[in-house]
Structure 1
């Protein structure tokens, strides 16, 4: 079995006047990222590996999750504003290990979550996939190279508004 956690970065700060890639989180986003990390730990969903976009807001989200030092974090430029095919391709090539968290951006992360699940949740928040939205899914595969569309079973879904 393989477990995938797809997370959209937490709320970013548009007041900074920086490039899109360099935009940081705002105060609400920082609190949300910490809450998401607490939720992952409480639910026993801490991954062994993280694949993260190189954007500031995804890197900051990942850092504020406060994952254990044993969790390997890799940053990949191709995940910055990636479409679902790029997200799945990165997973197939670079995931390794039985449990992976991927932190990226909309619209690609939301489309990937919807397209990987056999039965997406019937929740408005899943359809909107707001900042910090997190989907946990399980796959009956032994290798990430075998990952297929519409094959994941929903384990959990949350948004920061439910946690903060």
Structure 2
């Protein structure tokens, strides 16, 4: 049994002075959401053995803030991989297969649509998962999901089915972190 946690970077600023998407930093709301998600993960989820993360600024800021908020539950084995920046589901599977090693659980911090597609590609669309239906509508910034795979080795992740055992959005923890409502 393998467990994969998927943390989408928190809300980022729309523009970056450098002009590069890779350099976008978190907004104030994003920083609050990353901290809330880190506290949630630290309290509610067994520690992860390894972290795989996009090196993009917003992903790294999300991860650093979340790790601080996790406290002792924070994993120490951390790998940044450029292939996770705006990766497809297939690319994410490839990175996990190559870098998962002997870890039983991995926290992956990256971007959409790749993370959403990982859930949709691995969790059967048979009407039995209400959480999958939510992901199919939207996997918002800062969202955290846990997939369980009945595999012995990460190299088998490609094409494997999974159970979506939890989905937490920032607004589930703190309603002020939900979508802006026009007035």
Residue equivalent to 1:42: 43
Extract unaligned runs of 5+ from structure 1. none
Residue equivalent to 1:11: 11
Give the helix-richer structure, 1 or 2. Answer: 2
TM-score by length of 1: 0.91
**Larger-gyration structure (1/2):** 2
Q: Among 61, 70, 77, which residue is 1:72 paired with?
A: 77
Q: How many angstroms does 1:150 deviate by?
A: 5.3
Contact 2:3-2:105 at 8 Å conserved across structures: yes
- Measure, in 1, the Cα distance between the counterparts of 2:113 and 2:3: 22
- State the SS of the aligned residue for 1:21: helix
- State the SS of the aligned residue for 2:62: helix
Contact 2:119-2:164 at 8 Å conserved across structures: no
Extract unaligned runs of 5+ from structure 2. 175-183
Instruction: Give the RMSD, CA atoms, in angstroms.
Output: 1.7
2:150 is the alignment partner of 1:149: no
- State the SS of the aligned residue for 2:26: coil
Contact 1:126-1:133 at 8 Å conserved across structures: no
2:95 is the alignment partner of 1:90: yes
TM-score by length of 2: 0.82
- State the SS of the aligned residue for 1:16: coil
Q: Among 136, 139, 142, which residue is 1:129 paired with?
A: 139
Residue equivalent to 1:161: 171
2:117 is the alignment partner of 1:111: yes
Q: How many angstroms does 1:125 deviate by?
A: 5.3
Q: How many angstroms does 1:71 deviate by?
A: 2.2
Count of aligned pairs between the two proteins: 164
Moved over 2 A (4+): 15-18, 67-71, 122-127
2:148 is the alignment partner of 1:138: yes
